[in-house]
Structure 1
Amino acid sequence: MLADDHPFVLLGVRATLETQAGVTIVGQAVSPASLIELLRRTPCDVLVTDLSMPDPGGGVEDELSLIRQIRDEWPRLRVVVMSTSTNPAILRVLASDGAVSLLSKTEPMHELWRAIDGGEHGAAYIGRSIARLLARPNEAGCEQPLALPLSGMQAMIVRMFVEGRSIGEIAAALGCHRRTVIRQKREAMVKLGVTNDPGLFSCVRAIGILKFESDI
């Protein structure tokens, strides 16, 4: 089964896999909701999916929640994730799952078959580009748990933000100006290698910042 919101990617992946003996494409999806629906009514052995697909229904909270749901509902399904993400925290979480193979979309197409074939023999496959990225964890600023580059105030602001508090509420609780909270949050996002709030939520879930003990 294939899933990607870009038709040309689906076309290229399908054309590549259909050259392999014994491969049958049983379905295609272009969104998280359509993929879950398809999985529930169509048996398959392998899923090749994009990591980040727009979800008009809002059912997917972040980049990792779709993969988590699939792993929970179909634990025996072999999953190959094709991603453009360069966030080491998110990629590290995916790579740590022994049933999920992980490729960058910049990899040659023959790497996709290696990932599928390797998974059949019980070994998750990590593409070369992803492996190089994970070998240099300091590049994107998203570190291992409890080794975060955030100041105590930045960690506290991020924690309060992902718990659902507004910028104004955080400023009132910390006794500082809204501009201070906005600046500290922005600087924390730069350190964590994310550019928007959904990315921040994903990174927080990936590295466990909610358990980070503030030093202030």
Structure 2
Amino acid sequence: MDDHPSVLSGLEHALQGQRSIRVAGKANSATALWDMLASQPCDVLVSDYSMPGCESGDGAAMFERLRRLYPELGIVVLTMMDNALVVRSLRSLGIHCILSKSDAIEHLLPAVYGAMAKTAYFSPAVERLLEADHLAQPPTSAP
């Protein structure tokens, strides 16, 4: 899901050639996503973090609702945000496949397979963000 048609087309193109992956649908808003999920179940959702103008909410609220309604759904989040707080909030929701839109499309397949297998996958820019965030966190003291 993405609100940019060229991004949606690029994602679909990157996934189409894979034998073990079938694109079940595309959505350009959170509202369209909810309608699609109600009628077309899927194993993994690839979604932008931010979907402007959606009445049902986007960002953290959307992913929290997705986790509540579809707890077994694998989720890959795409984002242009370089905010460690956003990545931490996604991880706290059990979303561990996060890609930066600034990284190459080649990271999409490993992330989708990671979401299927319930393992983590972070693109290089997200990895760097997590490492910088880890270094910036104060050390925890032992009791």
TM-score by length of 1: 0.59
Q: Quote the offset at 1:120 in angstroms.
A: 2.3
Distance 1:4 1:36 in 2: 13
Partner residue, 2:72: 76
Which letter maps to 1:30? N
CA RMSD between the two structures: 2.1
Which letter maps to 2:106? H
Counterparts of residues 41-190 of structure 1 (less than 5 Å): 41-57=39-55, 59-60=56-57, 63-137=59-133
Distance 1:87 1:122 in 2: 23
Q: Quote the offset at 1:99 in angstroms.
A: 4.2
Once the two structures are superposed, residues 18-77 of structure 1 have per-residue CA deviations (whole angstroms, 9 ceiling, x without a partner) of 0111221111100111111111111111100000011343x31x5210111111100000
SS state at 2:81 partner = coil
Partner residue, 1:19: 17
Runs of 4+ in 1 over 4 A off after TM superposition: none
Distance 1:69 1:107 in 2: 27
Contact 1:99/1:123 (<8 A) preserved: no
Query: Structure 1 residues 49, 56: CA separation in 2 closer, same or farther (over 3 Å shift)?
Result: closer
Deviating more after overlay: 99-108 vs 14-23: 99-108
Partner residue, 1:194: none
Contact 1:98/1:123 (<8 A) preserved: no
Unaligned ranges ≥5, structure 1: 145-216
SS state at 2:59 partner = coil
Between Structure 1 and Structure 2, how many residues are aligned? Answer: 138
Q: Quote the offset at 1:138 in angstroms.
A: 8.6
Give the % identical residues.
33
Which letter maps to 1:80? V
Distance 2:89 2:48 in 1: 16
Distance 1:16 1:121 in 2: 19
Unaligned ranges ≥5, structure 2: 139-143
